[in-house]
A and B are shown apart, each in its own frame.
Chain A
Amino acid sequence: MQAQCVSLCLLGAMVFLCSAHARGLRRCVISMDMRRIEESFRGIKNAIQAKDTFQNVTILSTSETLHSIKPLDVCCVTKNLLAFYVDRVFKDHQELSPQILRKISSIANSFLYMQKTLQQCQEQRLCHCSQEATNATRIIHDNYDQLEVRSAAIKSLGELDVFLAWIDKNHQGTSAASRQET
């Protein structure tokens, strides 16, 4: 009787682990060509970063936040950071130069499209937010609030290359497979 109980428990645990692993495999990825957005940013990177006066501070805090994100949390963190940029950074930044305004508009609208793609994942419950993911988002928001709004917006814009590279790295793989058609 006891042996049966133990074996049933073991079986249950294995099934649970397998389902969790399978859920991790069914990742939510943005199958988008990030190169176009990275090209847009490269055109204005020097102009934006030149306006950043607080060189010793970082908002994204890459080592604390982005580098420590697990694969399961990628969807949640991507969604949160996209919302961070769309709802706060782009709105707080006042741009006068038409050339830079065009590139920022291109990036902002692409982020909006990416948000819509991730929203579909959220409806399929593939975008669960763990405590680590929520903490990482909170750190970034706190860093942003510590600076004056205009400076914070400029600094966050200057760190877009880090964010775009992180998205590119974490949203590959299945996107290539999903493109194959016969």
Chain B
Amino acid sequence: MVLEEIETSLIMWFSYALIPCLLVDGVAVLPAPQNLSVQSTNMKHVLTWGPVIVPGEIIHYSVEYQGEYESLYMSHIWIPSSWCSPTQGPECDITDDITATVPYSLRVRATLGSLTSAWSTLKHPFNRNASKALLSSLPCPQQPPLQEPCSLRRSGFFSASAILTPPGMEITKDGFHLVIKLEDLGPQFEFFVAYWKREPGAKHAFSAILPAVYRRQTRVFQISWMISKAYEAGTRLSREHVKMVRHGGIPVHLETMEPGAAHCVKVRTFVKAIGRHSAFSQTECVKVQGETLPLALALFSFVGFMLILVAVPLSVWKMGRLLRHSCCPVVMLPDTLKITNSPQKLISCRREEVEACVAAGLSSEELLRAWI
């Protein structure tokens, strides 16, 4: 009897002890996602985590974030992510959530039907302007409530650094015009385009000098190499132009090129929101054809123009004559019908001059009679 009671109580005790192992706050345990990290490239931020695998089941994930403001003033508020509440894959584009240049805390949990896992929080908050160089240069005020994030900054604890890559560019020649089309990276990006004309003379002169000097002594070679590089940089800098382009994806005219010389371009991005710029892209140089072809072209076009200038009036005059002959042909009168005197003279005879006219007419008649 006593043994039976002990056995029953043991069984009850054992089952009560097991319950906490199986249930947590009334829900069955699903493992929380692990290894949270953020990759940020060109202001596109992606949170990734290790997937939770349950054979034969599709796991959904919920992502929540908390800006520095919420963590300081209302730490119980977590905001569901715009695109990932819920999501299926073990990653989330949080670009639309990270909208200020402050540290953001992020957390993820897995759900399977009615089962949910515990929240797994990003180990160190993510700031979209994070970089190793920046961490050491920021000042740290002593007044609250900025102490906490400042201490995080000082210790260098950021889970990722934001990477800005050099932008892609497409250089085209429109005749003599140098036109550039930049990669469209969105409204947050501005482009600084540096372009210059590469002088052929200076570089060649120094490249000729260098081998001759090298034969003498290594030290002299090094010094003259340094001088040549400095001169090259100096001449390039004095002629380097910079243009700021606000939007990518649209062709932009840089300058009109001179024939025979190479024109070089390089570009980098600047993001005003985080006050950082990318590295410069690879320098690309283009060249327009030399002077021989345009000269021949100019000569040919000049000759052609002169020919046209002469031929057109000539042909117009000829055509005019042809038309006149075809429309209003000149009739050839026989000799007998030809009036020797000018018809104007006969018409203009007046009364006062009748005698003179008659005399003039008589005189011709007399002449005729005389001849007969």
Residues of A whose CB lies within 8 Å of any CB of B are 31-33, 36, 40, 86, 90-91, 98, 101-102, 105-106, 108-113, 116, 119-120, 123, 179-182
Main SS of chain A's interface residues?
Answer: helix
B99 neighbours in A (Cβ, 8 Å): 36, 40, 106, 109-110
B240 neighbours in A (Cβ, 8 Å): 182
A120 neighbours in B (Cβ, 8 Å): 139
Flag if A113 contacts B100 (CB, 8 Å): yes
Flag if B80 contacts A109 (CB, 8 Å): no
A179 neighbours in B (Cβ, 8 Å): 190, 244, 270, 272
B272 neighbours in A (Cβ, 8 Å): 31-33, 179
Flag if B242 contacts A98 (CB, 8 Å): no
Residue of B69, B194, B242 with most partner-chain A CB within 10 A:
B69
A113 neighbours in B (Cβ, 8 Å): 100-102
Flag if B277 contacts A181 (CB, 8 Å): yes
Flag if A182 contacts B79 (CB, 8 Å): no
- Identify A109's interface contact among B69, B141, B192, B242, CB under 8 A: B69
B68 neighbours in A (Cβ, 8 Å): 109, 112
State in angstroms the CA–CA spacing of A112 and B139 once bound together. 16
B73 neighbours in A (Cβ, 8 Å): 86, 90-91
Residue of B79, B190, B277 with most partner-chain A CB within 10 A:
B79
Flag if A108 contacts B139 (CB, 8 Å): no
State in angstroms the CA–CA spacing of A114 and B183 once bound together. 30
Flag if A109 contacts B79 (CB, 8 Å): no
Flag if B141 contacts A119 (CB, 8 Å): yes
State in angstroms the CA–CA spacing of A119 and B144 once bound together. 12
- Identify A108's interface contact among B69, B82, B244, B275, CB under 8 A: B69
| Pairs across A and B, CB under 8 Å, 5 listed | A40-B99, A106-B99, A110-B99, A110-B100, A119-B146
Flag if B69 contacts A112 (CB, 8 Å): yes
Q: How many whole Å from A181's CB to the nearest CB in chain B?
A: 6
Interface pairs A-B: 4 shortest CB-CB: A109-B100, A109-B67, A106-B99, A108-B69
- Identify B146's interface contact among A91, A101, A116, CB under 8 A: A116
Q: How many whole Å from A54's CB to the nearest CB in chain B?
A: 25
